[in-house]
Amino acid sequence: MELTYETMQLELELKRALEQEEFRLYYQPKVNLGTGKIEGMEALIRWEHPDKGLVPPIEFISFAEETGLIIPMGEWVLRTACSQTKKWLKAGLSPMVMSVNLSVRQLYQPNLVERVNQILKESELDPKYLELEITESMMMDQEHTLDILKGLKRLGVQISLDDFGTGYSSLHYLHEFPIDKIKIDQSFIRKCTANPENAAIVKSIITMARGLKMIVVAEGIETKDNLIFLQNHSCQLGQGYFFSMPLPAEELIPYFVQIEQIVPQEGISPKTYNEMLMQQALESTRQELHTIMKQQQGMTFKVIKEKERFIYTLCDGRLMQRMGLTSDQVIGKELKDFMPLEGVEEKTKYFHRAWEGEENVTYVGEFNGVYYITSLSPIRNGNQVEGIIGSCVDVTELKKVNEALTLSESKYRIITENMLELVVTLDAEGKILYISPSHEKVLGYSPKIYEGYLGSDLVHPEDIANLRTVYYSIIESKASCQIEYRYRHVRGEWITVEAQISPVFDEKGELEYLIVVGRNITKRKKDEELKQKSERLTAIHQMALSVAHEIRNPLTTIKGFVQLMKKGSETPFYIETVLNEVKRLEGIVSDFLLLAEPQNDPFKEVDVTVLIHQVLEKFHAKALLNNIKMIMRNDFEIPAIYCNESQIKQVFSHILQNALEALPNGGIVKVQLLGQDGHHIKIRFIDNGYGMSEERLKKIGELFYSTKEKGTGLGFMICQKIIQTHNGKMEIKSKVNKGTMVDVILPIGKGK
């Protein structure tokens, strides 16, 4: 504003007016257009100027805004209006809401919410009796205004939107702001009966506000026509000169009774007004019902019977849309008009049943790929059925899930019915929870009868102890375990089962159940036994042949020489030869004795290092004699091995014996102890003797094949057998004229 002498003067005067308390508050009632009762008051400021008399707000409000004087002025208005309301309440006047106008500047006052709260406290007024009027222009800064309004609402104060329709009328913010009332601007009201456009605007504002659940106030009601028009359009509250001019509090009170008579005397009768309100409520309920019908997930319909035909009179819901139908295709039509014929006849039967009076006639239907369940019930008027109501629920998803379930169930059934694995689940006590159908095939009895029994009821008594040990170790280690035991077949024979037992723990870590998956290995076991037996037989057979052969050779020689000796020629030479052949026979026999040596010496823990030293000691003299150096290396802390000591000694002696024999002209024999994989050790014997060719290596395990010129070859076979019974391995590598390397691998600890 341009600074002039006048404006400077006005500012000074306004300041003085505040100090000298020249402002007055006038009050204008707000009347309920149904009952005529005064339900609210608007506080309007006046300036009692010493010279100019009563100055209306239009002449100083905007100036007070610009100078900031509106802040102290606004606080004065609030304080005065609140304490006036409190006074009226105390005086016993019927409760009313006091409206106070807020200016934009006040909205930007940093502590507005606090100030309002403070003033309410000081005047001891319940916040529900205070209403603040804001204007549309204040909505421009949406975020800020929204914050302030929310703060005010939290206090419990009501908000009303003044002069609606004149300002920044964006309908978008209306439902976002916490607004309780809309005041239709007086410019629309005054001409609402004369000007059809204004009438239309007023009507639509009322409808919209109702839709938003806000109360509508019409300001500037000046005539009876205005009143009736607004009543007819069910506007709730009214304000204007027709009821009362704004007046000072003490002048207004005497008119209260008179004011409250205006609506009953001048307006439409309360009965008509109420009927109209009812009508409107009915209409809005109908609208709401329609919306609900349309928005419902399912579908609701009504049919009536006309000339033996069932005609749809109502149908709506999202299910109908999903079926690809519109209300137009259904309403006024029969089933056969929109449904495929094959379903019509059946559904008509259900319709007849409901028409006969049966409640909840239910059927499942399908339309355009949508599955639904319909429930029909008769609509009665007294004893007469006058329609059928049907409600449908979409079950397509359910149907899909069901199909998938049946599918997976049948797959699962095929598997469980055809598998040969024996599956059992046991609870923590060992009771059978589930037992697979395969038990019937493998063990011959119906598994059902065993549910609830102890799992051990089926097991061979000799295997129960072992099974128990395994059970406890599974619980302790929480790891699954493999075990072999025997099950009783229904015929009484025993079935050997190899099973994996796995524990399943709950979230607290406690055993929930055990899953046992077993396989019948009876046949495999029998086959293995047979194979072993036949292998043994073949070996014996082979041995018998070889022994016969080996013995026949020297025997033939002896026989020949003895015959020659009988003739009496060159006796000493013959005797020498015969003795050699007898020695050979002795060799064969001693090798056999080795084979027959007791194999079941007790197993015990043996320190291998000590054992090797003892064996090396045995060969010490012979090595010295043949210029052979024996070296022992030990790179590894050797734990004890669990073995038959004399057998292992026998193996090592045999290997060393061969090594020394491979070095007729001297050389080196090394023995090395190596760690293998944490569970095994490796004892390596290396010599740099004449070695063996590949063919010889291949045949080394065969009976009577010897690396030496003499001997039976039984030695290697025996060594292999011994190492095998210790769950170990023997590996030989050799190169002609380079040497031979023998690795003996043995398990550490108990091994088995």
**How many Cα neighbours within 13 Å face the side chain of 393?**
9
> Please, what is the minimum distance in Å from the beta carbon of residue 189 to ligand C2E?
8
* Total of chain residues touching Mg ion, rule CB under 5 A: 5
Q: Which amino acid is at 395?
A: V
Name which of 100 and 686 has its Cβ closer to Mg ion.
100
| 57 binds ligand C2E, rule: CB under 6 A | yes
CB 687 within 8 A of CB 668: yes
Q: Of these, 8, 54, 56, 451, which contacts ligand C2E (CB under 6 A)?
A: 56
Residue 369 CA to residue 281 CA, distance in Å, equals 40
- Judged by beta carbon distances under 5 to 8 A according to partner kind, the member of ligand C2E, Mg ion, none in contact with residue 246 is ligand C2E
Name which of 103 and 658 has its Cβ closer to ligand C2E.
103
- Give me Rg for the CA atoms of the chain: 57
| 713 binds ligand C2E, rule: CB under 6 A | no
- Judged by beta carbon distances under 5 to 8 A according to partner kind, the member of ligand C2E, Mg ion, none in contact with residue 160 is none
- Judged by beta carbon distances under 5 to 8 A according to partner kind, the member of Mg ion, ligand C2E, none in contact with residue 503 is none
> Please, what is the minimum distance in Å from the beta carbon of residue 162 to Mg ion?
4
| 220 binds ligand C2E, rule: CB under 6 A | yes
| 647 binds Mg ion, rule: CB under 5 A | no
For residue 314, list its beta bridge partners. Answer: 302
Residue 372 CA to residue 339 CA, distance in Å, equals 14
Q: Of these, 45, 230, 611, 669, which contacts ligand C2E (CB under 6 A)?
A: 45
Site for Mg ion in 214-233 (CB under 5 A): 219
**Buried b vs exposed e over 511-542: b needs ≥16 C-beta within 10 Å?**
bebbbbbbbbbbeeeeeeeeeeeeeeeeeeee
- Judged by beta carbon distances under 5 to 8 A according to partner kind, the member of ligand C2E, Mg ion, none in contact with residue 546 is none
Residue 301: partners with Cβ closer than 8 Å, 6 or more residues away:
312, 314, 315, 316, 330, 389, 390, 392
Here's the x/- map for ligand C2E, 151-170, by CB under 6 A: it reads as: -----------xx-------
| 520 binds ligand C2E, rule: CB under 6 A | no
Residue 76 CA to residue 54 CA, distance in Å, equals 18
| 136 binds Mg ion, rule: CB under 5 A | no
**DSSP 3-state assignment of 433?**
strand
> Please, what is the minimum distance in Å from the beta carbon of residue 54 to ligand C2E?
10
Residue 375 CA to residue 359 CA, distance in Å, equals 9
| 163 binds Mg ion, rule: CB under 5 A | yes
Q: Of these, 80, 84, 85, 103, which contacts ligand C2E (CB under 6 A)?
A: 103
Here's the x/- map for ligand C2E, 124-153, by CB under 6 A: it reads as: ---------x--------------------
With CB under 6 A as the contact rule, which of the stretches 52-60, 490-498, 608-616, 719-727 interacts with ligand C2E? Answer: 52-60
Residue 718 CA to residue 150 CA, distance in Å, equals 99
Residue 528 CA to residue 507 CA, distance in Å, equals 43
Reference 628, options 672, 684, 685, 689; nearest CA is 689
Q: Which tokens belong to 297?
A: 């997930």
| 734 binds Mg ion, rule: CB under 5 A | no
Q: Which amino acid is at 650?
A: Q
> Please, what is the minimum distance in Å from the beta carbon of residue 188 to Mg ion?
11
Reference 192, options 165, 213, 162, 174; nearest CA is 165
Q: Of these, 13, 131, 136, 162, which contacts Mg ion (CB under 5 A)?
A: 162
* Total of chain residues touching ligand C2E, rule CB under 6 A: 21
Element (H, E) at 260: helix 256-266
- Judged by beta carbon distances under 5 to 8 A according to partner kind, the member of ligand C2E, Mg ion, none in contact with residue 683 is none
| 71 binds ligand C2E, rule: CB under 6 A | no
CB 391 within 8 A of CB 374: yes
For residue 631, list its beta bridge partners. Answer: 670
Q: What secondary structure does DSSP assign to 595-607, as a single string?
A: HHS---PPPEEE-
> Please, what is the minimum distance in Å from the beta carbon of residue 46 to ligand C2E?
7
- Judged by beta carbon distances under 5 to 8 A according to partner kind, the member of ligand C2E, Mg ion, none in contact with residue 125 is none
Residue 153 CA to residue 113 CA, distance in Å, equals 9
Name which of 101 and 123 has its Cβ closer to ligand C2E.
101
> Please, what is the minimum distance in Å from the beta carbon of residue 69 to ligand C2E?
11
Residue 304: partners with Cβ closer than 8 Å, 6 or more residues away:
310, 311, 313, 386, 387, 388
Q: Of these, 168, 241, 412, 505, which contacts ligand C2E (CB under 6 A)?
A: 241
Q: Of these, 18, 61, 389, 481, which contacts ligand C2E (CB under 6 A)?
A: 61
Name which of 229 and 355 has its Cβ closer to ligand C2E.
229
**Interface positions with Mg ion (CB under 5 A):** 101, 133, 162-163, 219
**Interface positions with ligand C2E (CB under 6 A):** 28, 44-45, 56-58, 61, 77, 101, 103, 133, 162-163, 186, 219-222, 240-241, 246
